[in-house]
Amino acid sequence: MKTIGVVTSGGDAPGMNAAIRAVTRIAHSRKLQVLGFERGWDGLLTNTYKRLTPRTVGGIIQLGGTMLRTLRCPEFEKAEGVELAAETLELNEVNGLVVIGGDGSFRGALDLSRESDTLMVGIPATIDNDIFGTEETIGFDTAVNTAVVAIDKIRDTAISHERVFIVEVMGRKRGFLALEVGISVGAEVILIPEREC
């Protein structure tokens, strides 16, 4: 039986579980075994995984986070870590690896692809929306809507107290989230990293 692996890496994003579920269900419909490596790249370094089936991914679509858990893995950034991950893929006879994450996850997949013959597929999932070549990443829309709801709730307080509120959103080095939220709530000023103040 052919085997694919799934890994969620870096920060979590709403919709990662839905992606895991979709990958698992489609893979099983094509008679593929699915291994979900736990805690991001760390799962590949420690050979820690769970077998995913349509039953094990049932009921996760509405949950936030990722059922596989995730973290940043400094050991994977070293050549020895990438080599160990490649060995894990070979040991488990993984034919393809689905990487669900952001720019750091994709850089890791690129590094791993240079050490392994395993096919790599990336599913962009980051609230930062900063993956080149994508219109919108998994998690971005939910992040925008969550921020808009929160800002709408505090706007009344700002108005009643005749105050200016400064709201900071996530997004790392990119202003996609700040810009989208700012436009959506009618902000007076939107500051983004791409523009000098």
pLDDT at residue 55, as a whole number: 97
Question: Among 45, 42, 8, which Cα is nearest to 125's?
Answer: 8
- Give the pLDDT confidence of 79-114 residue by residue, as tens digits: 999 999 999 999 999 999 999 999 999 999 999 999
pLDDT at residue 79, as a whole number: 95
Identify the CATH number of the domain defined by range 128-197.
Answer: 3.40.50.460
This prediction has a pTM of 0.92
pLDDT at residue 60, as a whole number: 94
CATH 3.40.50.460 domain range(s) in the chain: 128-197
Question: Among 170, 171, 167, 173, which Cα is nearest to 186's?
Answer: 167
pLDDT at residue 172, as a whole number: 84
- Residues annotated as part of the active site: 128
What is 3-124's CATH topology?
A: Rossmann fold (3.40.50)
CATH 3.40.50.450 domain range(s) in the chain: 3-124
- Give the pLDDT confidence of 177-193 residue by residue, as tens digits: 999 999 999 999 999 99
Residue 31 gets the label, from left (phi > 0), alpha (psi -120 to 50) or beta, of left
What residues have CB less than 8 Å from 55, skipping those under 6 apart?
Answer: none
d(CA 169, CA 94): 38
Ranges in the chain, pLDDT < 50: none
DSSP 74: G
